[in-house]
Amino acid sequence: MKQVQDYIRTIPDFPHEGIMFRDVTTLFADPRGFRLAIDQMLHPYVGIQIDKVVGLEARGFILGGAIAHQLSVGFVPIRKQGKLPGKTISQAYTLEYGEAVMELHDDAIQPGEKILVVDDLLATGGTAEASIKLIERLGGEIISCAFIIDLPALGGRTKLAKMGMDVTVLCEFEGE
């Protein structure tokens, strides 16, 4: 029986030499693989109160929308700076070569709402950390952070755990 990681393609030297890019588009394109990933990501949260699923740009939108649908809750996108049309709050975070900014509509989450954060990949944890800070600034209570892939060597899971976050992942890959 195929596992989630069996549907994920690895592309060497993308976006630059030395990186082994874990491509989830092959997982999404396969109906069995996509259903398997959504079902496995959803399973730990069945029966737990969740008010909204927050998906991180961009593949987190695909996953988060499907999970929110299955849980019958709302979906909220966190996007790169300048992509959301309404009034937003912003959070900068560090990238390998510089800084980036994530944004969230300032009315997307109400104080006390229980939030599940979803994305495809956990690497250094910078995007997830920035997103957690945005959600907490609006008073959201993060129940958990769920990812398809963890790259343990890059330390993201440890970073989120130090922030007090529950983290679930479907599979791990060694290296970058």
User: What would the pLDDT profile of 116-167 be if each residue is shown by its tens digit?
Assistant: 999 999 999 999 999 999 999 999 999 999 999 999 999 999 999 999 999 9
- Name the catalytic one among 9, 32, 35, 96: 96
pLDDT at residue number 176: 63
Query: Is residue 172 annotated as a catalytic residue, yes or no?
Result: no
User: What would the pLDDT profile of 26-80 be if each residue is shown by its tens digit?
Assistant: 999 999 999 999 999 999 999 999 999 999 999 999 999 999 999 999 999 999 9
The dotted CATH code for 49-172 is 3.40.50.2020
Tokens of 94: 């560090």
Which pTM was predicted?
0.96
List C-alpha distances in Å: 56 to 102, 147, 174.
Answer: 9, 10, 23
- Name the catalytic one among 22, 59, 79, 157: 59
Query: Is residue 96 annotated as a catalytic residue, yes or no?
Result: yes
Map out the domains of the chain as residue ranges.
Answer: 49-172
pLDDT at residue number 125: 95
